[in-house]
Amino acid sequence: MSSPFLVPTREPIQVLADILEKEMSIPNGQIMLGLENWEIPKNDGLYIALFYGPDIIVGTTNEFDAVTNLEIQSTAMLHEIMIDALSFDSSARIRKEEIVMALNSVFAQQQLEAELMKINGIPTSFVPTPDLEETKWLNRYRLGFHMNALYQKIKAVSYYDSFGTPAVTTNQ
């Protein structure tokens, strides 16, 4: 039996990170995924943090294709995604609108489609959540939105076309 083929090959926040990195020219190391143990760097510039809110299972199916002898397991998820734009300088305040443009770009649509994902409407508001970090004010803007992702696992199903002779054991 072969190993399962999984779709998508990347998780939704990783796809979004790649989109933001390319569309906004964000340097490597300035995007944080999930709630990793990541310290906010003290230097100037824009930093992005992506993390999940509550996830909702929209539906699940299990199909068997007798022609190819494959089992196709599918789960559709509705993810709540939170994006924080952070900076000690004015970068977060000035560039926050670029996030929305990046999420609505042709490149984003191509990447999401390739991974069986879709953003459910572009975010409509930024919530300012400034924070005092040690001795400096951190400019922080948060936006949230929902996106769908279809997860599939495709695997071969064991098939038995012959049976061995059964062994009979008696109690003595």
Q: Determine, yes or no, domain membership for 111.
A: yes
**Mean pLDDT to the nearest integer, 33-52:** 83
Kind plus residue range of the DSSP H or E element containing 92:
helix 91-103
Query: Residue 108 has what pLDDT?
Result: 96
Q: What residues are paired with 161 via a beta bridge? A: none
Comparing CA positions, the residue from 120, 119, 114, 116 lying closest to residue 152 is: 116
Q: Mean pLDDT in the chain?
A: 87
Q: Determine, yes or no, domain membership for 167.
A: no
Q: Determine, yes or no, domain membership for 164.
A: no
Provide the residue count of the chain.
Answer: 172
**Mean pLDDT to the nearest integer, 25-42:** 82
The CA distances from residue 49 to 20, 44, 46, in Å, are 11, 16, 10
Q: Contact, 144 vs 82, CB < 8 A?
A: yes
Q: Which CATH number does the domain housing residue 36 bear?
A: 3.30.70.1700
Within 13 A of 99's CA, how many CA atoms are on the CB side?
A: 29
The residue range of the domain holding 146 is: 5-156
Determine if the pTM surpasses 0.85. Answer: no
